[in-house]
Amino acid sequence: MKAPRVTLDQWRTLQAVVDHGGFAQAAEALHRSQSSVSYTVARMQDQLGVPMLRIDGRKAVLTEAGEVLLRRSRQLVKNASQLEDLAHHMEQGWEAEVRLVVDAAYPNARLVRALTAFMPQSRGCRVRLREEVLSGVEELLMEGVADLAISSFSIPGYLGTEMSDVEFIAVAHPEHALHRMNRELSFQDLESQMQVVIRDSGRQQPRDVGWLGAEQRWTVGSLATAAAFVGSGLGFAWLPRHMIERELAEGVLKQLPLEQGGSRHPTFYLYSNKDKPLGPATQILVELLRTFDTAPLDAPFAAPQQA
CATH number of the domain enclosing 227: 3.40.190.290
CA 114 – CA 105 distance, rounded (Å)? 16
Task: Pick the last residue of a domain from 90, 109, 132.
Answer: 90
Residues 142 and 113 placed together within one structural domain of the fold: yes
Residues 21 and 150 placed together within one structural domain of the fold: no
**What's the domain range around 207?**
166-262
Distances (CA, A) of 186 to 194, 197, 249, 258: 15, 19, 25, 6
Task: Pick the last residue of a domain from 32, 59, 90.
Answer: 90
Residues 123 and 145 placed together within one structural domain of the fold: yes
Residues 131 and 184 placed together within one structural domain of the fold: no
Q: Is residue 302 part of a domain?
A: no
Q: Is residue 300 part of a domain?
A: no
Give the dihedral of Cα atoms 178, 180, 181, 187; nearest 10 deg. Answer: 10
Can you give the CATH number for the domain in which 111 is found?
3.40.190.10
CA 90 – CA 83 distance, rounded (Å)? 11
How many residues in total does the chain contain? 307
Q: For 239, phi and psi rounded to 5 degrees?
A: -130, 150
Q: Is residue 1 part of a domain?
A: no
CA 139 – CA 17 distance, rounded (Å)? 57
Residues 256 and 173 placed together within one structural domain of the fold: yes
Residues 183 and 242 placed together within one structural domain of the fold: yes
Q: Is residue 306 part of a domain?
A: no
Q: Is residue 51 part of a domain?
A: yes
Residues 141 and 287 placed together within one structural domain of the fold: yes
- Report pTM: 0.68
Residues 84 and 215 placed together within one structural domain of the fold: no
- Spatial neighbors of 248 by CB under 8 A, at least 6 apart, are 171, 241, 254, 255
Q: Is residue 200 part of a domain?
A: yes
Residues 217 and 272 placed together within one structural domain of the fold: no
Q: How many domains in the chain?
A: 3
Q: Is residue 106 part of a domain?
A: yes
Residues 19 and 86 placed together within one structural domain of the fold: yes
Q: What is the DSSP letter of 181?
A: T
Digits of tens for pLDDT over the chain (307 positions)?
A: 566 778 888 888 888 888 888 888 888 888 999 889 888 888 888 888 888 888 777 677 888 888 888 888 888 888 777 677 656 555 556 788 999 999 999 999 999 999 999 999 888 889 999 999 988 999 999 999 999 999 999 998 898 999 999 999 999 999 999 999 999 999 888 888 899 988 888 877 666 555 555 568 888 989 999 999 999 999 999 999 999 999 999 999 999 999 988 889 999 999 999 888 888 899 999 999 999 998 776 666 655 544 4
Q: Is residue 296 part of a domain?
A: no
Task: Pick the last residue of a domain from 67, 90, 113.
Answer: 90
